[in-house]
Amino acid sequence: MSNIAFIGLGNMGGPMAANLVKNGHSVIGFDLSEIALQTLKEAGGQVADSALAAAQDADVVISMLPSGKHVAELYCENFINSLKPNTLLIDSSTIDAVTARSVAELAISKGCKMIDAPVSGGTSGAQAGTLTFIVGGKQEDYEKARPILKCMGQNIFHAGESGAGQVAKICNNMLLAIHMIGTSEAINLGVRHGLNPQVLSEIMQKSSGKNWSLDVYNPYPGVMENAPASRNYSGGFAVDLMTKDLGLAAEAGLETKTSTPLGNTALNLYRMWSGAGNGKIDFSSIIQFLNAEA
């Protein structure tokens, strides 16, 4: 069992830290939210009054932060210099690959080990311990992290060297946004022609249009009981988070001169939907934007 510092105890980080506690690890967390800290206490973890204090005696440091800026600010030289030699750093934030590589290079130069390990599976996966981790970093560091990650997820992939986890994550989320928009367009078209959305969804699930959005995350209200669409698009993966990930994909495309016309269209649609005041609701709510009268 390890002494683990967990920095960032929000909707994803909080349940992830709680699952580490359930699996017998000693977890000390830090977050700016007092409610998040109290929740970790109730789950059996300890709390610190700063990230530095949390990480002081840790064998492993895990972070789940909003952006690359926050990750770079956390893993600064002062923070890394305060850690024990060979501390394993796991950043599960979804950020740009350039920042991921930069902080890993600094950490390794100071005698630490570091991987980027962004996740897929949403808040429900974080709570159930069924997340998918997409890892970038050295093979030996991936192997060292794997038992820790297995306490929080079911599927662990090594995508390649530092930054590779971030690239694979944004590729996945770009595709997710594209097929969510396509699914929404198709269902809207059928409903406008008088079809039952549940029947149409079942038909497409058994046909060549089958995809994840249809199978487990239907965007039409009432079709799938446990989907955010059936609880007024609350919970789930926020529009603003999808917009952020699509922005990262667009930046990655520019860096490598890769054409991503559908990804860029998805980014523009989600930006408009967020700009209309819908940034905090689930990304499947894009069906409402597309359902507006033409």
SS3 letters across the chain: CCEEEEECCCCCHHHHHHHHHHCCCEEEEECCCHHHHHHHHHCCCEECCCHHHHHCCCCEEEECCCCHHHHHHHCCHHHHHCCCCCCEEEECCCCCHHHHHHHHHHHHHCCCEEEECCEECHHHHHHHCCEEEEEECCHHHHHHHHHHHHCCEEEEEEEECCCHHHHHHHHHHHHHHHHHHHHHHHHHHHHHCCCCHHHHHHHHHCCCCCCHHHHHCCCCCCCCCCCHHHHCCCCCCEHHHHHHHHHHHHHHHHHHCCCCHHHHHHHHHHHHHHHHHHCCCEHHHHHHHHCCCC
CA angle 165, 169, 173 (to 5 degrees): 175
Flag whether pLDDT at 35 surpasses 70. Answer: yes
Flag whether pLDDT at 294 surpasses 80. Answer: no
Annotated catalytic residue, options 110, 138, 144, 169: 169
Average pLDDT of the segment spanning 87-106: 97
Q: What is the pLDDT of residues 160-205, one digit of tens each?
A: 999 999 999 999 999 999 999 999 999 999 999 999 999 999 999 9
Average pLDDT of the segment spanning 7-26: 96
Flag whether pLDDT at 121 surpasses 90. Answer: no
Average pLDDT of the segment spanning 262-282: 97
Q: What is the pLDDT of residues 128-156, one digit of tens each?
A: 999 999 999 999 999 999 999 999 999 99
Average per-residue pLDDT for the chain? 96
Flag whether pLDDT at 293 surpasses 90. Answer: no
Q: What is the pLDDT of residues 218-239, one digit of tens each?
A: 999 999 998 999 999 998 889 9
Average pLDDT of the segment spanning 116-129: 92
The verdict on whether 69 is a catalytic residue reads: no
Can you give the pLDDT at residue 38? 97
Q: Looking at the whole model, is its pTM more than 0.85?
A: yes
Q: How confident is the model at residue 123 (pLDDT cuts 50, 70, 90)?
A: confident
Q: How confident is the model at residue 246 (pLDDT cuts 50, 70, 90)?
A: very high
